[in-house]
Amino acid sequence: MPKPTAFLCFSDLMAFGVMKAIAEAGFSVPEDISVTGFDDLVFSSYTQPALTTIQQDFVEIGSKSAKLLQELKEGKQKGQHLYVAHQLADRKSVRKLN
């Protein structure tokens, strides 16, 4: 069975666990397997290698979510897609493919 070349994790905490499992299996990040996260937690820039991740504004997400929930409860809103700005924190856990 071929090994994966990359993991796209839906949180930085999951990415930390994946990076640990990769090392325990005898592989290296990013030389053997690339890893990305999603959150940009404070510790993400301190992992070895530093985790490539998506930065997002948790305060804005919480504020917009609370407002939408209140509007749903009051019958003022039936549902809506919300957009919160995000940005790639390009660090060292992903290697470029040739």
Which pLDDT score, from 0 to 100, does residue 81 have? Answer: 82
CA 15 to chain centre: 7
Of the pLDDT bands very low, low, confident and very high (cuts 50, 70, 90), residue 3 is: confident
Separation between Cα atoms, residue 63 and residue 24, nearest integer Å: 40
Start-to-end CA span in the chain (Å): 23
Mean pLDDT of the chain: 93
Region 30-50: mean pLDDT is 96
Separation between Cα atoms, residue 91 and residue 8, nearest integer Å: 14
Separation between Cα atoms, residue 54 and residue 84, nearest integer Å: 12
Q: Dihedral (C-alpha) 76, 81, 85, 90: value to the nearest 10 degrees?
A: 150
Of the pLDDT bands very low, low, confident and very high (cuts 50, 70, 90), residue 4 is: very high
Tokens of 58: 């948790």
